[in-house]
Amino acid sequence: MAKKNKLREILSWFIVVVTGVLAGLIIQNFVIVNATVISGSMLDTVEVGSRVVAFRWSYLFNEPQRGDVIVFRFHMDESLDYVKRVIGLPGETVQIVDGRVYINGEVLLEEYVRTGAWPRNRNFGPHTVPDGRFFVLGDYRDISEDSRSWGYGAYIIRPGDAKPSWTMRSQLPHSTPTEFNVEYAFVCKNLILGRVIFSYWPRIRAIR
């Protein structure tokens, strides 16, 4: 009798553990995104090393909105997840002049932007955001690699490669002719994993 009770107890604990693991996997893969921010491109909104949670269903019935902080698969290497802020929406014309962002010719007021001691006021555009794509920037504009830089570059053949691959301007010799590539400048909606809601490490805080 005691042996049967022991087996029931072990089975009960086994069911609890398996149920917990399955629930965790379902939540992780279908409800939330757990991402670690390894760069300072979103300072001061998101600290370096922060672990953030994004809600996968945010854009199930809605489109990303300007100002949303999102997690997305980096279109130049989909094994990487990036965190940036949505700035330009489909159909809008985006231009950056001396660090100021213009949407359809009107300056965008941005209270979240951090500037450093050595500003890199990279100009951009004007370019129109294609349907189904978004223009994204990091909040720490001086150090962030984002839609401003991804789209300017050239196709080059790297050592060991059989065909040319897109390389950003910042990674090319200064004398290399460059072009603008819509495919790489803007983030496709189908690569967006969710809207960031909060960080839970190193401290709990809402992300806006």
Name residue, tokens 């209270």: 111
Go through the chain and tell me how many residues it has: 208
Of 3, 4, 12, 41, which residue is the catalytic one?
41
∠187-35-88 over CA atoms, to 5°?
25
CA dihedral 80, 81, 85, 90 (to 10 degrees): 80
Contact (Cβ atoms closer than 8 angstroms) between residue 108 and residue 87? yes
Q: Rounded to whole angstroms, how far apart are CA atoms 160 and 40?
A: 32
CA 62 to chain centre: 18
Catalytic residue among 58, 84, 144, 149: 84
CB atoms within 10 A of CB 200: 13
- Please tell me whether the peptide bond between 173 and the residue prior to it is cis, using omega within 30 degrees of 0: no
Specify whether 4 is catalytic: no
Beta-carbon contacts of residue 113 (< 8 Å; ≥ 6 apart): 139, 140, 141
Active-site annotation holds for 6: no
* Residue 124 φ/ψ, nearest 5 degrees: -150, 135
Mind telling me the catalytic residues? Answer: 41, 84
